[in-house]
Structure formats: structure tokens, C-alpha cells
Amino acid sequence: MCGIVGAISKDKNILPILITGLKNLEYRGYDSAGVAYFENNKICITKVTGKVDNLVQKISDDDSSKIGIAHTRWATHGKATTVNAHPHKVGHITIVHNGIIENFEEIKEKLSQCGYSFKTSTDSEIAAALLNYYYEEYNNIEKAIESFMKEAKGSYAISLLIDNDQNNLYCLKKESPLIIATGNNFNIIASDIRAILKYTNKYYILDDFEYAKVNNSEIIIKNSKGLVLNKELKEYTHENKENSKGHYKHYMLKEIMEQSKTIADTAIPYIDDGIASLLTMPDLTKYNAIDIVGCGTAYHAGLVAKYLFQEITNTKCNVYLASEYRYQNNFLSKDTLTIFISQSGETADTIAALKLVKSNNLPSLGIINVENSSMTFLVDQCLYTKAGSEIAVASTKAYTAQVTMLSLLALSHAYRNKTLKEKEVLEVLKEFKNISNLITPLLDKKNIYQSIAKEIYNEDDIFYIGRGLDYVLSMEGALKLKEISYIHSEAYAAGELKHGTISLVKKNTPVLCSATNDKLNPKTVSNLKEVLARGAKVYLITDDSYNDPAFNIINIPKANIFIKPLLIVIPYQLIAYYTADLKGTDIDKPKNLAKSVTVE
């Protein structure tokens, strides 16, 4: 993970560019940060633990430089300490690095034998040392970079400074994103063009095994054999809205509250003109099966789709965690469409799974939120969710946008393969058009969610249960709670509890449950009785008319199966939010996490 920026200018102080870039890259990690720049012919390095704001406090208004590099970290090798923070300087070379050098132990061993010693626990310091080793051998940085590329395994986006060279920045890339943007008398290296749009929207994308020499007026990009490449200059033309929290205490709350709109925005192109617009969805009838791949919340959205495809459209559908999909036998077939779901479009495991499918020449479809992100260039076809920019690490509106898109995809398939009649499809479309009226009252039940939060926020363990679609939703509910409140919460299929996990239920253990399936509800209620008998406190989200005083009931409106998941998740999101708020955690940037997981 980690975000990197480098900047060089003919006449301006580049420190504001580095800091703005880093702040915009904090979605890639925020456990420590650092900067290195030339001042009076000397490289100055400042590093801090924590967020970029801590770094800003260490930089005085008098500090100024025309060339520098900076980094915001998500620790992989070595704790989040100042010493492990980047930049790392070894000999003549100072680097910032995003990625993982997989053979760092081997390289370390070799360099140790050559007299190198190391101060940090990071693989990045080893990368700096290897670059320095070859730089000293050839007295030529380009040859050093080419040799580094031959030897280093794993992934890297690196930007580097060399002692005594205030005129050039260098960068190199393999499997971690890197762009070089260009402006009037300045150039910027960054993990992501969106991070530096304040300064320029023109940029080159570096591909794997490419490197560049960047000065204030020129960018020379070469391949790993030293051949100069003529790369296409791109222009980022998508809207880049400034994002503020408005009157909300956290981005997460704002994003939850935006969902009536973001669901509608995602759905509208496919519902506004009835069946005709629905049929602009890709035709899936040519496939025998559907595979869905994603991570975390995106995986959970895939599980909702599996339910709809299999139960409603009678189409075989498997859902895989991207990190598992890559390393198993997937029985790849040209008759299977693989759908990749991602908010960021940058998740390393999902990208790797997508590359696997592509390398086998098999069809792929992306459901992606961030325009122009890496995955959008790789998939055969892309359906953009319209969640807008999601800042909070815990995904909420991106999830409901993904579920909306997948539901409409399944609905179009049900129409095409005739598993639903036209009249039934029209009914669902009508409900989608009415979605705000269903969601808004749920968003407004703040008092209910806050009072549940008060009852559970001091607990150590919380269980989420459900059957069928309700089970899949409970997985998303448990993930939301654990990632922002740090309370251990797990989802279980309601019928599975008694096969082991119920041994953990004791007096006052909170059990959150959704029961919205008329056929399965009686069974789920029996499971709730079982936990009640062991002293649990039960919170039940339901569209049924239960009035058992032993259950704390949160009513949701009755809705079609294609709409239901979008309703069930709202109480789960808000209970998680208010619980974390009572605990006083850093809700938008929870510990140990990052918005975009760009390492495997």
C-alpha cells in the first residue's frame, strides 16, 4: 500500500505539492509519513508516526525546496515507527517505496556480506541499499535501476533522489501504480493522478518494468533495457469534486446518509425507461455460469448477487475472495463470465485475479466506482457505480451502489432468460424508482440506533446471524462494526450456531439478526430463542410483524428481494457507526486499515 509523491520545479517551492499529494493519498495508508528534499545542497529528511498532519507540524513556513519526495505509509514490514517510516536513505540514494520486495531477505544477506548494515525492519531500506549498491558499482543511476529491476522480486513503485543531484528525480515501477504528471515548469511523480489534480491533469502512466528520469522541463521514460519509450500523454478529464464532511461529524455518516441518492444515481440509467433501459445491461444469456471476485465489502456485495442469480435466475454463480481465487483451481471456462467488484479499482488481489482471467483470454466485467482506476483499463466491459467519492475507510455507499448494480444485472438476466415475467420485472423497476421513500425513513431512525449502540458499545463480542440473504447481510454488518469499533464481531448462519459457536453466547451477549424471509423466518426465530435461552440480548431487523418483547425490534419496510438487501444494511451501518462514535474511535481512518489495499 502506501502513497508516494515526488516533485521538481524550476522556480517554485514544491513542499506544498508534496503535502497536498500525501494528504490525498492517505486512503492508501496513514500510519506514518515522511519527506526528503534538497535544501542548501543537502538532503533533509523529516519523518513522523501517524498521519500527514503530524508531518505538516514539523515543516516550518521557512522550509522550501525545488525538488523532493514524500510518503504516507501502511506498514507491511516493520512496525509503524519513525525509523521505519520512509524516506529511507542508504549511501547516495534516498527513496520512497510502495509495494513489497519479496526477496528482501536474500538481498539483505548479499548486501550484509558486502558490508551494508541496516537500521530498519523494512524491505524498503533493502531496496534503497540495492539501488545504492549498483549505483556505486556503475556510477550510473540508470544502470543501477536496470540492475535493480532484474534482481528485485515483488512489487514496487519507487521515487528517488541522489545525493549531489538537485536537477533530477527518478522513479521505477512494477505492479504498484505510478504516474508522472506534467505542468508548467514542474513535474510530479505520484501513486495516483487524482491526488495532484490541483496542480495538473496531464500525465503519463508508467507500466511494469519502466523507469523515468524527471527534471523540471523533461520526462524521459525508458524500459528495463534502457530503451527510450514514446508514451502517450493522458489527460484526466473526469470531474474532481472537492469533498467536505459538510455538517456531519464524520465522512462515514455523511456517506451513509447519501445512500438514497447514490443508489438512485446508480440505478437510474437502467430503470428510467422501463424494460428498454434495463436491457442496456450486458446480456448474460450466452454464459453458463457467473463467477464473482472481490475483497471485503465488495465480496459481500458479490454474495448478494450469488443469491439473486441462483435463487431467482437459476444461473450458477460462485463468489470468491480475490486473495483465494488467485491460488486455486477455478475451472476456468469461456462459458463463464467473471465479474470483478471494486470501489477503488486498485485492490491488488482483485487486480491480480483479473489479470489471471485476462491471461486466459476469458471474458470479464467490472463493477467499479472510481473512474479511470487501474481495473477499468483491464476489464472487457465496465459498469460504473455512481457512489461518488467514498472517503471513509468503511465502505457504505459503495456497497449499496454495488448491490444496486448487481441486482439490476440479475434482474435484466431474469427478464432475458424468462425466469421472471415482464410484469414481475416491471414491479421491481417500480420499487427501484421509489427507493428513496423506502430508505429515507430507515436513515432517520437515529434514536433507535443510538440506543442500541449504548447497550452494546462496551461488549467484547457480538454475533450477527441470519439465514439466506439475511446471513449474507449479517456478514457485512459484522464487518462494519469490527472495522470501526474494534469490537470482535462475527457473522454466522443462524442454523450453524448450535454446531459450535453457541458455546460463546453468555448472559447479555448481543446477537444482531435480520429475518426478512417469510419461509425462513420461523427457523431463524427458533435460533434466536436458543440464544435467548442462554442469556443473549437479541436485536432483530425484520419486515415481519413480530412483537415478542424479548426481541429488540427494528422494523424495515417490506420490499422485493432485489431491493431488500439495500434496506437491511442501513440499520447495520448506523448501529456500527454510533457504536464506534461512543467508543471514540477514529471512524473515518480506523487503526491498521487503509481505504485502498494495494498490496497482496
In the bound state, the residue with its beta carbon closest to ligand M6R is: 296
Q: How far is the CB of 405 from ligand M6R (least distance, A)?
A: 13
Provide the edge-to-edge strand list for the sheet that holds 156-162.
Answer: 88-90, 93-98, 156-162, 169-174, 210-214, 219-223
> Is residue 579 close enough to count as binding ligand M6R by CB under 6 A?
no
> Is residue 90 close enough to count as binding ligand M6R by CB under 6 A?
no
Interacting residues of 354 by C-beta distance below 8 A, sequence separation 6+: 293, 338, 340, 364, 366, 375, 378, 379
Residue 382 annotated to the active site: no
Of the candidate spans 81-89, 280-288, 294-302, 440-448, the one that interacts with ligand M6R by CB under 6 A turns out to be 294-302
Helices 123-138 and 104-113 pack at an angle, to 10 degrees, of: 50
Residue 114 annotated to the active site: no
> Is residue 216 close enough to count as binding ligand M6R by CB under 6 A?
no
> Is residue 297 close enough to count as binding ligand M6R by CB under 6 A?
yes
> Is residue 395 close enough to count as binding ligand M6R by CB under 6 A?
yes
Binding marks (x or -) toward ligand M6R, 433..472, rule CB under 6 A?
Answer: ----------------------------------------
Considering only 298, 308, 487, 568, the residue that binds ligand M6R (CB under 6 A) is 298
Question: In a 3-state reduction of DSSP, which class is residue 142?
Answer: helix
> Is residue 489 close enough to count as binding ligand M6R by CB under 6 A?
no
DSSP 8-state code for residue 214: E
Binding marks (x or -) toward ligand M6R, 327..346, rule CB under 6 A?
Answer: ---------------xxx--
| Count of positions on this chain that bind ligand M6R (CB under 6 A) | 16
> Is residue 364 close enough to count as binding ligand M6R by CB under 6 A?
no
Question: In a 3-state reduction of DSSP, which class is residue 66?
Answer: coil
> Is residue 570 close enough to count as binding ligand M6R by CB under 6 A?
no
**CA–CA gap between residue 442 and residue 446 (Å, rounded):** 9
Interacting residues of 70 by C-beta distance below 8 A, sequence separation 6+: 4, 5, 6, 18, 19, 21, 22, 33, 34, 35, 36, 87, 96
**Closer CB to ligand M6R, 125 or 291, in the complex:** 291
Q: How far is the CB of 552 from ligand M6R (least distance, A)?
A: 25
Helices of type H across 59-163: 104-113, 123-138, 141-151
Of the candidate spans 89-97, 254-262, 290-298, 562-570, the one that interacts with ligand M6R by CB under 6 A turns out to be 290-298
Q: How far is the CB of 376 from ligand M6R (least distance, A)?
A: 12
**Closer CB to ligand M6R, 199 or 251, in the complex:** 251
CA within 13 Å, CB half, 539: 24
Residue whose C-alpha cell reads 486499515 in the numeric block: 593
Question: Could you say which of 2, 171, 317, 382 is catalytic?
Answer: 2
> Is residue 347 close enough to count as binding ligand M6R by CB under 6 A?
yes
Q: Closest Cα to residue 305, out of 357, 365, 219, 392?
A: 365
> Is residue 597 close enough to count as binding ligand M6R by CB under 6 A?
yes
DSSP 8-state code for residue 459: -
Q: How far is the CB of 260 from ligand M6R (least distance, A)?
A: 20
CB 80 within 8 A of CB 73: yes
> Is residue 394 close enough to count as binding ligand M6R by CB under 6 A?
yes
DSSP 8-state code for residue 12: S
The β-bridge relationship of strands 3-9 and 186-190 is antiparallel
Q: What angle do CA 402, 565, 447 make, to 5 degrees?
A: 110
**CA–CA gap between residue 97 and residue 152 (Å, rounded):** 13
> Is residue 393 close enough to count as binding ligand M6R by CB under 6 A?
yes
**Closer CB to ligand M6R, 130 or 353, in the complex:** 353
Written as one letter, the residue type at 393 is V
**CA–CA gap between residue 291 and residue 312 (Å, rounded):** 16
Q: How large is the C-alpha radius of gyration of the chain?
A: 26
- The number of beta carbons lying within 10 Å of the beta carbon of residue 139 is 10
> Is residue 296 close enough to count as binding ligand M6R by CB under 6 A?
yes
Q: Closest Cα to residue 282, out of 409, 384, 376, 379?
A: 409
> Is residue 350 close enough to count as binding ligand M6R by CB under 6 A?
yes
**CA–CA gap between residue 301 and residue 365 (Å, rounded):** 15
Considering only 271, 295, 353, 599, the residue that binds ligand M6R (CB under 6 A) is 295
**Closer CB to ligand M6R, 296 or 388, in the complex:** 296
Of the candidate spans 217-225, 295-303, 548-556, 571-579, the one that interacts with ligand M6R by CB under 6 A turns out to be 295-303
Considering only 175, 483, 544, 581, the residue that binds ligand M6R (CB under 6 A) is 483
> Is residue 266 close enough to count as binding ligand M6R by CB under 6 A?
no
Q: How far is the CB of 141 from ligand M6R (least distance, A)?
A: 35
Q: How far is CA 469 from CA 62, 297, 305, 517, 521, in A?
A: 59, 15, 10, 8, 12
**CA–CA gap between residue 308 and residue 322 (Å, rounded):** 21
**Closer CB to ligand M6R, 147 or 374, in the complex:** 374
Written as one letter, the residue type at 24 is N
**Closer CB to ligand M6R, 209 or 486, in the complex:** 486
**Closer CB to ligand M6R, 17 or 594, in the complex:** 594
Q: Which residues are identified as catalytic?
A: 2, 595
Chain contacts with ligand M6R (rule: CB under 6 A): 295-298, 342-344, 347, 350, 393-395, 479, 483, 596-597
